[in-house]
Amino acid sequence: MRLNARILATGQALPQRIVPTAEVAALCGVPADLAMARSGVRERRWLSGDETALTLGAEAARNAVQAAGLSLDNVDALLNASGSHLQPIPDGAALLARELGLRGKSTYSLHATCLSFLVALHHACLLIHTGQARHVLIVSTEAGSLGLNHAQAESTLLIGDGAAAVLLGPARHAAQGLEAYRLETYPEGAEHTRIRAGGSLMSPLRPEVTRADLTFDMQGLQVLKLARRVIPGFLERLRPGLSHGLTGLDHVIPHQASQAGLTLMERFGWPAERIEVTLPHLGNVIAASLPLTLHQAMREKRVAEGKTILMVGTGAGLIAGGGIFHL
The 3-class secondary structure across 245-286, one letter per residue, is: CCCCCCEEEECCCCHHHHHHHHHHCCCHHHECCCHHHHCECH
| Cβ contact 290:274 at 8 Å | no
Q: What gap in Å lies between CA 244 and CA 266, rounded to an integer?
A: 10
**Residue 135: what residue type?**
H
Please state, rounded to an integer, the average pLDDT across all residues of the chain: 95
- Judged against a pLDDT cut of 90, whether residue 70 lies above it is answered with yes
The H or E element that residue 235 is part of is: helix 220-238
Per-residue confidence (pLDDT) for residue 217, from 0 to 100:
87
195 CB neighbour count, 10 Å cutoff: 18
**Residue-wise pLDDT tens digits, 81-130:** 999 999 999 999 999 999 999 999 999 999 999 999 999 999 999 999 99
The dihedrals phi and psi of 195, each to the nearest 5 degrees, come to: -120, 110
**Residue-wise pLDDT tens digits, 156-195:** 999 999 999 999 999 999 999 999 999 999 999 989 988 8
Per-residue confidence (pLDDT) for residue 321, from 0 to 100:
98
Spell out the residues 6+ positions from residue 283 whose beta carbon is closer than 8 angstroms to its own.
Answer: 39, 41, 43, 44, 45, 158, 159, 160, 256
Q: Tell which phi-psi region holds residue 248, choosing left (phi > 0), alpha (psi between -120 and 50) or beta.
A: left
Per-residue confidence (pLDDT) for residue 212, from 0 to 100:
81
Which residue ranges form the domains of the chain, and what is each CATH number?
6-169 (3.40.47.10), 177-326 (3.40.47.10)
The answer to pTM > 0.85 is yes
Per-residue confidence (pLDDT) for residue 197, from 0 to 100:
78
The H or E element that residue 294 is part of is: helix 289-299
The dihedrals phi and psi of 101, each to the nearest 5 degrees, come to: 75, 25
Q: What gap in Å lies between CA 308 and CA 180, rounded to an integer?
A: 11
Average pLDDT over residues 24-42: 92
Spell out the residues 6+ positions from residue 173 whose beta carbon is closer than 8 angstroms to its own.
Answer: none
Per-residue confidence (pLDDT) for residue 207, from 0 to 100:
87
| Cβ contact 19:78 at 8 Å | no
Beta bridge partners of 312: 254, 322
Please give the share of the chain, as a percent, with pLDDT higher than 90: 85
- Judged against a pLDDT cut of 90, whether residue 22 lies above it is answered with yes
